[in-house]
A and B are shown apart, each in its own frame.
Chain A
Amino acid sequence: MRKTPLLIAGALATPASAGTISVTIPQVPVAEYHRPYVAAWIEPVGGGAAQTVFVWYDIKKKGAEPGTKWLSDLRTFWRKGGRSLTLPADGLSGATRAPGTYQIPLPTNLKPGAYTLYVEAARETGGRELVSVPLGVPVKPARAAGKTELGTVTIR
């Protein structure tokens, strides 16, 4: 009796938008390096509300200049939805990452359609870059690459 709802939930949990984003934070050869703030969000191609996928920032820094102070340096993310988030946000926010490649699951609540995945990175005393990747649901593999602050961004 108890198992039935779980089975139904299990069946529903294989949505069209099951997929994985991979984001590479490149090594940047500079004297003063700070890990970048990085955020990703999804927008319907025809316009509509943006959905935040993740935001990596200095979560632990508190005091007069908390880590949230520089979130608006992710200026497009900030305008597209970051400014409306209450941070930290469960399942969205995380600490900054060192250079490397990271796998992030796509949100599972996307209806079939055409979307764009945006990934934006901003680095203290460094640059800022925005990379966009076409995202179809059901998910089709796609990729794009940044030139300075972001490496390859793939969807699979």
Chain B
Amino acid sequence: MRSALRLATAAALLSCAAPALAHRAWLVPSTTIVSGTDDWVSIDAAISNDLFFADHNPMRPDMVKIWAPDGSPAPIQNAATLHYRSVFDVRIDKPGTWKIGTTQSAVIGSFKLDGVEWRVGGRGFGGAARPPAPGAARPAGEGAPPRPSVATVADIPANATDIKLTEVIGQNNVFITAGAPSTTVFQPTNKALEMVPVTHPDELVSNEPATFRFLIDGKPAAGLNVTLVPGGKRYRDSEGAFDVTTGADGVAKVTWPFAGLFWLNATTTDAHPSAPRATERRMSYTATLEVVAP
């Protein structure tokens, strides 16, 4: 179960971390603001190109965790995996800001065995919610030639050569606030890439610029590219995505073009992996933000 989860996470993360793939993992709540502490929020979770249209793969509900405003875990309820999206409920029974999302940590890569390139982890294993049977080799991809692969770093044979491993770390969140906003769920762990809001994510208004601070291992992530993609591409001609860059203090300022749902993503790599044998670290931070009209 554990390794299956890890694989699924790696697959889902790859979907949003590798620019070439373009698939984006997203969560969309029925609302981000709740009055009272006797309520429910319904969340859609999927992986697709266009935001927020579920037309590719569901996100696995068992990947999703909920943090109550005091940081304690809360269960996801009524989860269902549909063909293109998953849905589940969050019981909002405490005041403050809730965090709902996925955290990912995996090692992927490749090695050579007798001149043949093998893959480690990654897509073939548990791609989103329709995984192959445990232990199954990577199925032939559509168009891509089948390549042999192993599930984890521990499965790499001793006589393998040209081992290239990348640690992949990411998180993908939405935030729900009941009553007044709180900040406990934004407490950084000082590991990899994290976002600490200056403007609270549940206080976003289209005519007020928002600022967010990004940290890598607890230190300001300077010069980080942050992409914002508005939802509803189908109702416009252009995707409308735009980028902002963090300053030396790790702070990025976002001026909203209009009200709506926005998918925020920052992806960066460095050479400071914490996983043994990995040489590269790929980090991503993703959130769905709701910006209301003034």
Contacts and interface: CB of A to CB of B under 8 A. Distances in A.
B209 to A, nearest CB: 16
Contacts of A75: 33, 292-293
B34 interface: yes
Contact of B35 (A64, A69, A76, A130): A69
Contacts of A84: 179-180
Interface residues of A, number: 15
A79 B35 contact: no
A38 interface: no
Contacts, number: 32
A111 interface: no
B119 to A, nearest CB: 48
Interface string A70-101: 11100110110011100000000000000000
Contacts of B177: 83
Main secondary structure of the interface of A (DSSP, over half): helix
B95 to A, nearest CB: 9
A78 B33 contact: yes
B33 A69 contact: no
A72 B37 CA distance: 13
A76 B38 contact: no
A69 B294 contact: no
Contacts of A68: 35-36
A83 B36 CA distance: 9
A78 B205 contact: no
A138 interface: no
B249 interface: no
B136 to A, nearest CB: 46
Interface string B27-39: 0000101111011
A130 B294 CA distance: 9
A121 to B, nearest CB: 15
A112 interface: no
B89 interface: no
Nearest to A75: B292
Contacts of A66: 36, 38
Interface of A: 64, 66, 68-72, 75-76, 78-79, 82-84, 130
